[in-house]
A = this chain, B = another copy of it.
Amino acid sequence: MDRVAVVGAGLTRFGRRVDVGMNHMAWEAIKAALEDAGIEQKDVDFFAVGNTGVWSEEPLPAITVGEYAGLTPKGTMRVEAACATGSAAIRVAYQAIASGSARVALAVGVEKMYNSPTGAVVELIGRAGNYFWEFENFGLTFPGYYALYASAYMAKYEVKEEDLALVSVKNHYYGSFNPYAQFQKPVKLEDVMSSKYVAYPLKLLDSSPITDGAAAVVLADEESARKLTDTPVWIKSQGVASGSANLSKRQDFLGLPASVEAAAQAYRGAGITDPLKQIDVATVHDCFTIAEILAYEDLGFAKRGEGVQLIRDQQTYKDGIIPVNLDGGLKAKGHPIGATGAGMAVEAVKQLRGEAPPQRQATIRNGVALTHNVGGTGHYAYVTVYSL
């Protein structure tokens, strides 16, 4: 298997982007990634487009994005893995190179959620659980799903709403140093606590926002990577797993089995036996504050029930034992569904290269970063390990 490196990474500003259409937004990220890699469209052998399609203006987004970005007639496909769609796009581009089919491949994730021509965003997100059974019959929306997890975790481990809120405070703090983030203002604990309930015990400021945005990475085989850059960021491994579509079939609501499985695969592939010692910085899927705490445990940063202590002790801040979501996370950076995973990859690359603003740059000791991207409520999990 050929080694594969990220040689270019680009991002749009995340937020409410009613100024441009989906294709243009994708192009902003692609352009930035191509420039970062120092290549042109003709140098790209294949591109994968991550887009859920749920909100799309166009039913063939890979084609319209490709044409707008000047990538036609390169080979392409659209991929979807719910909120892990961006990571699935990276997987396809990565394997195109690792299999020897391509030398340079591009993965772009894009989502336009505001001004959707197809319907109400919250209704459509609600369907990302189990549509025919839980959504249609019980009206369970997406915040409702994670509220079940939050309630179960709080009940079992004597955790308070204030504990969850600490995740929001951290992520908004780092978002304030990220010019690409949707929210760049810090919030106080009392702001989170006084925000309105979305689904008890989760409040507005426990929740990631509706976001427009795009992110792109250029991947290359070893020979091409060495020519293009002095700081290739290697994809060491990627784990991928799925979970039941039905929450009623989950064993408990204290973790996501798909995350545990994907992490085990990724750690095996990258030779990681002690994540706290070997990983310098992580981005995890904090679609709600509870999700970040569950991720600490699912990824082995803490034992079951002890993830909350990491945030209480500020151990997932920049100078803690395992810095998490120094870009603001889904919570403050934003969560443009199909782009989120690709945005995580961009952050991993910037951190490993030491290019983040000093207020949110992790100390890179081992040269290893991790991204954890969940689709649905653990329907999908993609865990990727990057290294210098």
Contacts and interface: CB of A to CB of B under 8 A. Distances in A.
Contact of A63 (B92, B95, B380): B380
Contact of A60 (B238, B265, B375): B375
Contacts of A81: 62, 76-78
A17 interface: no
Interface of A: 1, 46, 52-54, 57-60, 62-64, 66-67, 71-82, 88, 91-92, 94-96, 98-101, 124, 127-128, 130-132, 238-246, 257-258, 261-262, 265, 375-376, 379-380
Contacts of A54: 59
Nearest to A21: B132
10 contacts: A1-B99, A1-B100, A46-B240, A62-B380, A74-B242, A75-B239, A75-B265, A77-B240, A95-B95, A98-B98
Q: Is the interface of A mostly helix, strand, loop or mixed?
A: mixed
A253 B288 CA distance: 51
Nearest to A74: B242
A243 B71 CA distance: 10
Given A80-B53, A81-B78, A124-B59, A257 B73 contact: yes
Contacts of A60: 80, 82, 128, 245, 375-376, 379
Contact of A131 (B57, B243, B375): B57
Residue of A100, A101, A243 ringed by the most chain B CB atoms within 10 A = A101
Contacts of A91: 77
A83 to B, nearest CB: 10
A74 to B, nearest CB: 6
A240 to B, nearest CB: 3
